[in-house]
Amino acid sequence: MVSHTLLVMSLILFLGLNTFLVAHANYLNQNIDITWGDGRGNFQNNGTLLNLTLDQSSGSGFQSKAEYLYGKVDMQIKLVPGNSAGTVTTFYLKSQGLTWDEIDFEFLGNVSGDPYILHTNVYTQGKGDREQQFYLWFDPTAEFHNYSILWNPSHIVFYVDGKPIREFKNLEAMGVAYPKSQPMRMYGSLVKTNWSEGPFVASFMNYNSENACVWSTDNGTTTTTPCSPGDSSSSSSTSTSECRKVLKWVQKKFMVYNYCKDKKRFWQGLPVECDAKKNNKNKNKNKNKT
């Protein structure tokens, strides 16, 4: 029987062979800070392993030491097995301040036998409301799977095992805000709202930010480490016909919620980006008339 005085959740984060642009090391304690939890997070195995603990008083979480302005980050995650209802595992990028930018992966736990829900969202200048949710086409608790965020001046792409599942384009020309000037850190956490089935374990490994552009301020001067702003190769871009087919396949088969389809919620009209092609055509027509 699980103790009512202390229920422990361990979240394991392991860095393997990957390196950061600046630190060039495989040690979490050189690249990651435990930022909350009052001692419930700790490094092990010479800093290559991070355990986050959650009890009835508090959870815990971490963040990257570096901030990034554009790039690609990857994390391998193995989610909480069994009855994980009420748990939320997170992997996301976020800037600071009241008008923050944020790019989210959130994994919403389930009752045994039901699928996890992968929740994605994009915040710009403190405003979100751009949720898309998916079931996964595999058991995310059986083994590790790779989750990636590509963020560059053209678009944001969410990937699962290298497959694009969502694209958020830069449509500033149509009046849609886009995260472009605020550097972001990587964050992760495991939290719980229902204790009846604890304890729980989610595992993270092989964090890779080699393709992320590190942001720094030295002597009052802001600089970005030279790098490619995200992988623009055909294997990662959604511009190729094959990747477009994969994106459509995932969204057709596994998407369970799309804010762009929720006319009841947006009864005064869907957000501009939800029908970008139509709005762009109308804009071009108006230009031609003048």
Surface-to-core class of residue 267, CB atoms within 10 Å of its CB (0-12 exposed, 13-18 middle, 19+ buried):
exposed
Please indicate whether residue 102 is annotated as part of the active site.
Answer: yes
**pLDDT at residue 21, as a whole number:** 33
CA distance 83 to 79: 11
Which of these, 205, 2, 7, 191, lies nearest to 84 by C-alpha position?
Answer: 191
Q: From the candidates 102, 167, 197, 273, which is the catalytic residue?
A: 102
Please indicate whether residue 106 is annotated as part of the active site.
Answer: yes
Placement of tokens 């929720």 in the chain: 262
**pLDDT at residue 198, as a whole number:** 67
- Tell me: the pLDDT tens digits for 173-196? 999 999 999 999 999 998 876 666
**pLDDT at residue 144, as a whole number:** 83
- Under 8 Å CB-to-CB from 57, ≥6 apart: which residues? none
Which of these, 157, 153, 158, lies nearest to 173 by C-alpha position?
Answer: 153
The backbone torsions φ and ψ at residue 253, rounded to the nearest 5 degrees and listed phi first, read: -90, -30
**pLDDT at residue 18, as a whole number:** 33
pLDDT in single tens digits along all 290 residues of the chain: 433 333 344 444 444 323 233 333 357 787 889 998 888 778 877 877 777 776 677 778 889 989 999 999 988 888 888 888 888 889 999 999 999 999 999 999 988 878 999 999 999 999 999 999 999 999 999 988 999 999 999 999 999 999 999 999 999 999 999 999 999 999 999 887 666 676 676 777 777 787 889 887 665 555 555 444 554 443 445 667 889 999 999 999 999 999 999 999 999 999 999 987 665 555 544 444 54
57 in Cβ contact with 67 (< 8 Å): no
